Amino acid sequence: MKAQYGRIVLKLSGEVLAGSHDFGIDPPVIDALAEELRAAHALGAQIGIVIGGGNFIRGVTAAGEGMDRATGDYMGMLASVMNGLAVQDALEKQSLPTRVLTAFAMREIAEPYIRRRAVRHLEKGRIVIFAGGTGNPYFTTDTAAALRAAEIGAGAVLKATKVDGVYSADPEKDPKATRFETLTYADVIQKGLGFMDQAAIALCMENALPIVVFDMAVPGNIQRVVAGESVGTTVSG
On the CB side of 51, CA atoms within 13 Å amount to: 32
Identify whether 218 is part of a domain: yes
pLDDT-based confidence at residue 3 (cuts at 50, 70, 90):
confident
Identify whether 39 is part of a domain: yes
On the CB side of 43, CA atoms within 13 Å amount to: 23
Q: Which domain holds residue 94?
A: 7-236
Identify whether 50 is part of a domain: yes
Identify whether 55 is part of a domain: yes
Burial class of 114 by CB neighbour count within 10 A (0 to 12, 13 to 18, 19+) = exposed
The CATH number covering residue 197 comes to 3.40.1160.10
The mean per-residue pLDDT over the stretch 101-127 comes to: 97
Identify whether 2 is part of a domain: no
Phi, psi of 161 (to 5 degrees): -130, -170
**What pLDDT, on a 0 to 100 scale, did the predictor assign at position 147?**
98
**What pLDDT, on a 0 to 100 scale, did the predictor assign at position 172?**
83
Q: What is the pLDDT of residues 34-87, one digit of tens each?
A: 999 999 999 999 999 999 998 998 777 877 888 899 999 999 999 999 999 999
Give the number of domains in the chain.
1
Report the predicted TM-score, pTM, of the whole model to 2 decimal places: 0.94
Average pLDDT, the chain: 94
pLDDT-based confidence at residue 120 (cuts at 50, 70, 90):
very high
For the chain, what percent of residues have pLDDT higher than 70?
Answer: 100
135 dihedral zone (left: phi>0; alpha: psi -120 to 50; beta): left
C-alpha to C-alpha distance for 48 and 10, rounded to whole angstroms: 6
Identify whether 208 is part of a domain: yes
